[in-house]
């Protein structure tokens, strides 16, 4: 992967270092964050990130997010954030949010 460590732009429809959907990486941001663009067909099982927060910016549709004991629905233009150490899960579910 490319180690940018300077400002850069990834154009729409492009990716970083040949990794589909990758817009910013641990290497390109000095470990500050990673950014992925993806379509979610189904979310992963509940999981925990020990060192990093997990955020979702919804471009279209609606995303259901579980963060610890809370459940949220984020519609297009919405952002959901969950701190490191909390059990998280997400998916494009319909109806009340939850896992």
- What is the tens place of the pLDDT at every residue in 24-66? 888 888 878 888 888 877 788 889 988 888 888 888 888 889 9
Distance CA 82, CA 70 (A): 10
Domains: count for the chain: 2
Distance CA 9, CA 13 (A): 12
Q: Which range marks the domain in which residue 23 is found?
A: 1-38
Count Cβ atoms below 10 Å from residue 16 Cβ, excluding itself. Answer: 21
Question: pLDDT at residue 99 above 50?
Answer: no
How would residue 2 be classed by pLDDT, with cut points 50, 70 and 90?
low
33 and 6 fall within a common domain: yes
Q: Please indicate, yes or no, if residue 80 is contained in any of the structural domains.
A: yes
Say what the pLDDT of residue 93 is.
Answer: 58
Say what the pLDDT of residue 5 is.
Answer: 66
Q: Please indicate, yes or no, if residue 99 is contained in any of the structural domains.
A: no
Distance set, CA 90 to CA 1, 25, 97 (Å): 28, 21, 9
Contact 59, 39 (CB under 8 A): no
How would residue 97 be classed by pLDDT, with cut points 50, 70 and 90?
very low
- CATH code where residue 61 lies: 2.60.120.10
54 and 31 fall within a common domain: no
């Amino acid at each position: 992967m490319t180690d940018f460590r300077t400002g850069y732009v990834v154009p729409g429809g492009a990716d970083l270092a040949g990794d589909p959907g990758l817009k910013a990486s641990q290497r390109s941001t000095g470990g500050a964050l990673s950014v992925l663009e993806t379509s979610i067909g189904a979310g992963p099982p509940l999981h925990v990130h020990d060192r990093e927060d997990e955020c979702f910016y919804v471009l279209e549709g609606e995303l259901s997010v579980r963060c610890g004991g809370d459940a949220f629905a984020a519609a297009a233009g919405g952002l959901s954030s969950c701190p490191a150490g909390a059990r998280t899960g997400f998916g494009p579910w319909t109806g009340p949010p939850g896992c």
